[in-house]
């Protein structure tokens, strides 16, 4: 097989054979280990674009955790609090900036990131490799690997872990093509680059966007550029904390993103740190058990199985306790890949600490959405840029 093409075991499903990827002039990546599949490569190539753009715009190491062609999380390298180290399960590790970025990207939504494909903006160092080596993950794409890091990761999954080294200087052709039902689609590659220029048109009463808010809005917008539409993203402290992807209704995107952001913040409740775990409970089983602990719709069977994780059944948080804790979530940034047609998304976002909003604008009801932001004391920027991705 030449470096122009790579044979795959199958396409999206095992019965879709044959399958391959190819490019005249050579593929822009090299397989250093493992055998990537069709969906692995879709995740890898989309996630690489995301972290490359985060790195270029924010000048910080960046990471993404991808599942089924949308990010479960994305982040840049900012210091982690002791609480976040604990809930991300990295408090026993020495973290480099790149490892910190991946800990944030994977840790925000640990249910969704289970079995992810990771993307890293910088050469993979040993601390990042050690973190990756103990997570349930299909593979990683990066511009390079330190020799010791490469050896650590080659041992993962009994030698089957997928390692892709991408050419960081590769740029695709101006026109891109895809085929659907035998029909070829052609469009210009999405080369628009996020910048603070997008955040200058602020029609709300509150005009101020602190640097931290601008950073988080840009993170949310860059993540949305590579998320299946419709999509909405909540971000704070340099990371996405809730992504609502692939919904048909804008408000459903917002509700989904908000629910994930709420779980992220509720995981930081002191009661979580006090859960009486039985010895030997696996890390992912703890993740699943915490999710059940925080859910409202737990069934009797789930409750019975859930209690088996603990030396004694812990007292669950009441709705009032959850609401009181969520009042401490604030200064959250919200990005939307298209305009809000109604104020319902703003009403929802206000319940989950959102203070800053960025969306294209252009709805017939922009005035209603602006009024909603004013009602809650939010600052909203009209970017003028739609970010649909399909």
What would the pLDDT profile of 4-59 be if each residue is shown by its tens digit? 999 999 999 999 999 999 999 999 999 999 999 999 999 999 999 999 999 999 99
**130 is a domain residue:** yes
Q: Is the pLDDT of residue 298 over 90?
A: no
158 catalytic residue (yes or no): no
pLDDT on residue 296: 85
Region 128-145: what's the mean pLDDT? 97
Token match 């990295």: residue? 90
Backbone angles phi, psi at 189, to 5 degrees: -60, 145
> Do residue 250 and residue 339 come from a single domain?
yes
> Do residue 285 and residue 247 come from a single domain?
no
Q: Is the pLDDT of residue 1 over 70?
A: no
Structure tokens belonging to residue 177: 């093509």
Active-site entry in 68, 252, 322, 389: 68
> Do residue 144 and residue 236 come from a single domain?
no
Summarize pLDDT for 260-275 with one digit per residue, the tens.
999 999 999 999 999 9
**177 is a domain residue:** no
**99 is a domain residue:** yes
C-alpha span between 45 and 119 (Å, rounded): 9
Residue 141 near residue 29 (C-beta atoms within 8 A)? yes
Q: Percent of the chain having pLDDT more than 90?
A: 95
Active-site entry in 59, 207, 282, 390: 390
Q: Is the pLDDT of residue 218 over 90?
A: yes
**208 is a domain residue:** yes
Region 58-87: what's the mean pLDDT? 97
4 catalytic residue (yes or no): no
C-alpha span between 166 and 52 (Å, rounded): 11
Residue that finishes a domain, picked among 292, 316, 340: 316
Mean pLDDT taken over the chain: 96
> Do residue 90 and residue 234 come from a single domain?
no
CA atoms within 13 A on the CB side of 332: 30
**259 is a domain residue:** yes
> Do residue 88 and residue 156 come from a single domain?
yes
**256 is a domain residue:** yes
pLDDT on residue 178: 93
Is 271 strand, coil or helix? Answer: helix
> Do residue 92 and residue 217 come from a single domain?
no
> Do residue 44 and residue 130 come from a single domain?
yes
Q: Is the pLDDT of residue 2 over 70?
A: no
Domain that holds residue 33: 5-166
3 catalytic residue (yes or no): no
CATH number for the domain harbouring residue 140 = 3.40.140.20
Is 143 strand, coil or helix? Answer: coil
Residue 210 near residue 381 (C-beta atoms within 8 A)? no
C-alpha span between 177 and 384 (Å, rounded): 26
Active-site entry in 33, 40, 46, 230: 230
Number of domains in the chain: 3
**374 is a domain residue:** yes
**340 is a domain residue:** yes
Q: Is the pLDDT of residue 333 over 90?
A: yes
> Do residue 39 and residue 120 come from a single domain?
yes
Active-site entry in 52, 67, 269, 355: 67
C-alpha span between 256 and 238 (Å, rounded): 20
Sequence-ordered list of residues with C-beta below 8 angstroms from that of 100, at least 6 positions apart, any chain:
61, 77, 78, 79, 80
Q: Is the pLDDT of residue 332 over 80?
A: yes
> Do residue 255 and residue 367 come from a single domain?
yes
> Do residue 217 and residue 299 come from a single domain?
no
177 catalytic residue (yes or no): no
Residue that finishes a domain, picked among 258, 291, 316: 316
C-alpha span between 119 and 49 (Å, rounded): 9
């Amino acid at each position: 097989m030449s470096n122009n093409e790579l044979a795959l075991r199958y396409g999206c499903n095992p019965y879709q054979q044959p399958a391959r990827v190819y490019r005249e002039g050579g593929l822009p990546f090299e397989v250093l280990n493992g055998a990537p599949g069709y969906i692995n490569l879709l995740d890898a190539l989309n996630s690489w674009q995301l972290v490359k753009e985060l790195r270029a715009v924010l000048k910080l190491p960046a990471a993404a955790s991808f599942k089924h062609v949308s990010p479960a999380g994305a982040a840049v390298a900012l210091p982690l609090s002791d609480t976040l180290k604990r809930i991300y399960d990295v408090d026993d590790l020495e973290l480099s900036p790149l490892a910190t970025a991946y800990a944030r990207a994977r840790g925000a939504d640990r249910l969704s990131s289970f079995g992810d494909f990771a993307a890293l903006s910088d050469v993979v160092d040993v601390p990042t490799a050690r973190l990756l080596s103990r997570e349930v993950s299909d593979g990683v794409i990066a511009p390079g690997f330190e020799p010791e890091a490469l050896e650590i990761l080659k041992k993962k999954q009994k030698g089957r872990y997928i390692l892709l080294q991408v050419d960081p200087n590769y740029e695709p052709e101006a026109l891109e093509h895809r085929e659907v039902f035998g029909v070829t689609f052609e469009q210009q590659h999405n080369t628009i680059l996020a910048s603070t220029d997008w955040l200058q048109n602020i029609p709300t009463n509150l005009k101020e966007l602190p640097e931290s808010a601008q950073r988080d809005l840009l993170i949310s917008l860059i993540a949305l550029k590579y998320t299946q539409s419709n999509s909405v993203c909540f971000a704070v402290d340099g990371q996405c904390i809730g992504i609502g992807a692939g919904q048909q209704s804008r408000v459903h995107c917002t509700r989904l993103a908000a629910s994930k952001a709420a779980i992220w913040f509720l995981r930081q409740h002191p009661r979580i740190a006090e859960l009486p775990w039985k010895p030997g409970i696996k890390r992912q089983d703890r993740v699943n058990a915490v999710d059940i602990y925080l859910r409202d719709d737990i069934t009797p069977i789930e409750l019975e199985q859930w209690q088996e994780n603990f030396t004694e059944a812990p007292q669950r948080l009441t709705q009032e306790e959850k609401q009181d804790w969520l009042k401490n979530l604030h200064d959250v940034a919200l990005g939307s890949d298209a305009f809000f047609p109604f104020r319902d998304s703003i009403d929802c976002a206000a319940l989950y600490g959102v203070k800053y909003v960025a969306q294209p604008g252009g709805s017939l009801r922009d005035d209603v959405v602006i009024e909603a932001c004013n009602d809650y004391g939010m600052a909203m920027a009209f970017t003028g840029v739609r970010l649909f991705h399909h």
